[in-house]
Amino acid sequence: MVQSAVLGFPRIGAQRELKKVTEAYWSGKATVEELFKVGKELREKNWKLQKDAGVDIIPSNDFSFYDQVLDHSLLFNVIPERYSKYNLPAIDTLFAMGRGLQRPATESSPAVDVTALEMVKWFDSNYHYVRPTFSKNVEFKLNSTKPVDEFLEAKALGINTRPVLVGPVSYLYLGKADKDNLELEPITLLEKLLPVYAELLAKLKEAGAETVQIDEPILVLDLPVEVQSAYKVAYEYLVSEAAPKLFLTTYFGDVRPNIQSIKGLPVAGVHADFVRVPEQLDEIVAALSPSQILSVGIVNGRNIWKANFAKAIEFVSSAIAKVGAERVIVATSSSLLHTPVTLASEKKIPAEIKDWFSFATEKLAEVVTIAKAVTDGPESVAGEFAANAKSISARETSSITNDTAVRERVGKITEDQARRKSPFGVRLAAQKKALGIPLFPTTTIGSFPQTKDIRIFRNKFTKGEITAEEYEKFIEKEIETVVKFQEEVGLDVLVHGEPERNDMVQYFGEKLNGFVFTTNGWVQSYGSRYVRPPIIVGDVSRPGPMTVKESKFAQSITKKPMKGMLTGPVTCLRWSFPRDDISSKLQAQQLALALRDEVQDLEAAGVYVIQVDEPAIREGLPLRAGAERDDYVNWAVESFRLATSGVDDSTQIHSHFCYSDLDPNHIKALDADVVSIEFSKKDDPNYIQEFSEYPNHIGLGLFDIHSPRVPAKDEFVSRIADILKVYPQENLWVNPDCGLKTRGWTETRASLQNMVDAAKEFRAKYVATA
């Protein structure tokens, strides 16, 4: 019998229960007991859901109150001293590491003031993990038994699960040295860490765990020799009679360049992502021993399209022909964390289109059906097979997916359309004359706090409870408030605050042809930040202006430059669920043409600073160097330039990037006049150096907008002074890390005022010495 397996399930809850209770706990409206109670209820629901669907291998320890990698840092005592010194409860230490903490002293506790650890993208997904940070004196030990506790929790419900751990090699490689020990290579800590993993595995076996899913996703990256060789050391140490069987798990890419690291490991089996790279089957099979099991990741854990049963069954059957049915498991390609919880609650998607989709809950049935088909024959799932074939065929032949006019316009794109009229130096002179921007110009990244009133009015408008005119007047009032606030604080280049926008991608998708939207299709991005990715179902075009009205109004009520705010073509693509029937390049070109029209309309309306955000451009980069990566960089850069190059020299183009390991060469190739980059949690001085020769203007983000903490003016002064050691003052902008949508007004005012005051101090200093 071929078994079915799921690598992980969304932990957020079908109604975002985790977000609601977590944020209530942070604000003091829920107790820690209430927080833990909701967590337990969510775990139980997820386990029972998978069991009732017929899944054979169900994961545990895939739940987290913030981030699964951060959980491992707490578990293994990888807690920098700046957090541990406060002796906070474990859950509060977890949250402090994830989002920072600033709390005044009370009679019973001292003041706490600590920034968050660095947060970066999880490979090429839009999920963010908190990077493990290894201090000089790190002492690995088990701080808790969370994986064991959750295994026993499921066992008490009559559900035998497979605990999930991040493997030791990936955990170390994905981390970094703390600022007190920058010369440290974390992989050198492996021999110190392994005994703690072994201790945990022994406890899991004592609790009754038969196998453990041990995730080693870095096997799809280009790895140095010392990391490749670490696998043999790690798994020969961990595999023992005292431990459960270990199932080595990879996803998101091609393991073949690291196949020698897998070959010969004494693990029970190997999982690979055959949705992303089906071509790797033969080499993986050749690397397995005669007793090792192959887990075939064939149901897409990253997208929402139905699995094609005919193709999936054919592929799994080919694997069975190579190793035998007793050595094959049918599985999701990765954790289902990256997909919405269920399609059942979606009532507004047109029935024809909804039939093409499969969310996390529906994917459970897919793995079970495919496993049954290859075990008992396709005739055993004849009804499901026929329905699936009908859905796949309907999508392939639908008129919704193809727009001839869009395809023709893409076919007429020229190289000149992706080039500004003049080089940066000429443009800069024109912009200085037109905009009058001072030295050390201050700005924000776009959004301002989305208050309860904004959400209420938007909801009323969506439900038809207020008229479009009433909603427009409310939005204009909010814009006036934000503009007045920025003028009071003293910012130099303003934004309208985006009160009309629900999300930086969804908002644009709703105004473009080719998208559909969910009501409850939430996916975790980080911590309590969830997004509802739009779904691209057809060719994309712009029926009319999307942002011009609000930006034009905002510019009309101030004499300072106003930024028009857009989301770039690659980010719109990457932060949606993209089509899988045409190339990403073609989808990006379609989006770029739509945005090009919007940029030109903004300029025509008198908005002469336009920001086109591309935070996902690094996220889309293929995980390995080579022709595929080079091709991606070329079309991603060209898409941005196509969107932004149709303006005059005096119009200033900005872009923004955050929470990725950026390549300065890729940023340079965009040829934006000004770029702003998340920087506040970067504590490696070499990071500044990487951008020291960036030729255009740059703003390195000076405070973490994901934390409620308010930096003092002296912190801003210190940070700017450090940057100026390697970066010329005439090119430096002063700004936060990212948009302020999730922050409160009190902390926003305080942080921005301190930032502006620091910039003014440097402005006075450098003007006086000029």
Residues that constitute the known binding site for L-methionine? 445-447, 498, 613
* CB 96 within 8 Å of CB 89: no
Using the 8-state DSSP alphabet, how is residue 220 labeled? G
Q: Which residues pair with 612 in a beta bridge?
A: 566
318 burial level (CB within 10 Å; 0-12, 13-18, 19+) = middle
SS3 annotation, 123-172: CCCCCEEECCEECCCCCCCCCCCHHHHHHHHHHHCCCCEEEEEECHHHHH
Q: Contact 574/507 with Cβ under 8 angstroms?
A: no
**Rg of the Cα trace of the chain?**
26
Tokens of 582: 């045409």
Concatenate the DSSP letters of all residues of 646-695 into one string.
SS-TTSEEEEEE-SS---HHHHHHH--SEEEE--TT---HHHHHHTTT--
Question: From residue 147, how far is each of 163, 232, 460, 738 by CA, in Å?
Answer: 7, 24, 43, 34
Residue 92 burial (CB count, 10 A): 18
Q: List the structure tokens of 492.
A: 């130099």
Own/partner contacts of 412-415, CB < 8 Å, gap of 24 or more, are 413/589, 413/593, 413/642
| Half-sphere exposure (Cβ direction) of 104: Cα atoms closer than 13 Å | 2
Q: The tokens of 141 are what?
A: 């030990």
Task: Identify the three-state secondary structure at position 201.
Answer: helix
CB-neighbour burial class of residue 695 (10 A; exposed 0-12, middle 13-18, buried 19+): exposed
Point out the catalytic residue in the list 72, 496, 654, 706. 706
- How many residues are present in the chain? 770
> For residue 239, what are the CA distances in angstroms to 229, 236, 768?
16, 6, 67
Identify the three-state secondary structure at position 629: helix
Phi, psi at 656, each rounded to 5°: -135, 145
**Tokens for 234?**
């790690």
Interior CA angle at 367 toward 361 and 370, to 5°? 140
Task: Give the whole-angstrom CA distance, residue 504 versus residue 738.
Answer: 12
CB 474 within 8 A of CB 457: yes
The Cβ-side half-sphere exposure at 290, using a 13 Å CA radius, reads 0
Residues 30, 35, 37, CA angle at the centre, nearest 5°?
Answer: 120
Q: What DSSP string runs through 310-349? A: HHHHHHHHHHHHHH-GGGEEEEESS-GGGS-S-STT--SS
> Can you say which residues are annotated as belonging to the binding site?
19, 126, 445-447, 498, 575, 613, 656, 658, 678, 738
3-state secondary structure of 623: coil
Residue 399, token pair as written in the block: 């008129």
Annotation marks residue 706 as catalytic: yes
What b/e readout covers 452-461, taking b as 16+ CB neighbours within 10 angstroms?
A: eebeebbeeb
Helix extents (H) in 161-270: 168-173, 190-207, 225-228, 230-238, 259-262
Catalytic residues: 706
